[in-house]
Amino acid sequence: MTNSSNHIVHNAPRSRVGAIVVAAGESRRMGDVDKIFTELGGRPLVLHSLDILQGCHSVTDIVLVTSQGRLSEAMALVASHSLPKVRAVCAGGKRRQDSVQNGLEALSDCDWIIVQDGARPFIQRHMVEFGLLEARRTGAAVAAVPVKDTIKTADAQGYVLTTVPRDGLWIIQTPQVFRRDLLQQAHHEVIDEVTDDAAMVERIGGEVKVFAGSYSNIKITTPEDLPVAEAILRSLTETNPEAAQ
């Protein structure tokens, strides 16, 4: 490679990578507690994801999407912590995909989009970087772990119908990484409610690649998840203080 070529590569524009932290759910399974602001290790739950994304070299911009009723609290949280990459805090929509769409609109100048559940505090920096690497090959990549339990289908009365082979079954997590134009197209074309953004990309014929997540990368959904999360946090801190980075 010539010096001229080296000079061109060195000065190539850096891709803008935006992260949408989705924290606009109603937390119905948490009772009257808003899980996003519930403390984990002495800090609001959503702050764990925000801190990791803030520390990721590849991430240039972050948008926090929260419920309308929690906007002021979310803005105060961002203002009181060192999170200069957070460019906006915006209100979510009725459905999860509506909340992601609101975040997308705030990141219109980004080339790549990371979608992260605000209630999934154990994201790690290497997951984000590896997800971006995989997404550059296909346009979409999602963190996942292989299913370990036996899976069965049952009828409405609870009688087992069949046992599903585990080979090829994955538990899907976040972060999920997408080329922005592909994700935007999926949001425009898919109007049915879906459980994650990858499903929308699949619907329009996009190729989605799974990459290694972690069994500790749990999502806080019910009150019973909080003691488990505290135990995971203690374990990560004791065995490797940098494990959550």
Q: How would you class 202 by CB atoms within 10 Å of its CB: exposed for 0-12, middle for 13-18, buried for 19 or more? A: middle
Mean pLDDT of 158-181: 96
Q: Which of 119, 100, 123, 141 is nearest to 54 (CA)?
A: 123
173-200 pLDDT per residue, tens = 999 999 999 999 999 999 999 999 999 9
Token output for 216: 């500790």
Protein fold of 14-142+169-239: Spore Coat Polysaccharide Biosynthesis Protein SpsA; Chain A (3.90.550)
Amino acid 39: pLDDT: 92
pLDDT tens-digit profile of 194-214?
999 999 999 999 999 999 999
Alpha-carbon distance 17 to 179, whole Å? 9
* Per-domain boundaries in the chain: 14-142+169-239
Report the range of poorest mean pLDDT among 5-19, 101-115, 160-174.
Answer: 5-19
Percent of the chain with pLDDT over 70: 88
Could you read off the pLDDT of 230-241 as tens digits, one per residue? 999 999 887 765
Q: Return the pLDDT at 10.
A: 47
**Taking the complete model, does pTM exceed 0.75, yes or no?**
yes
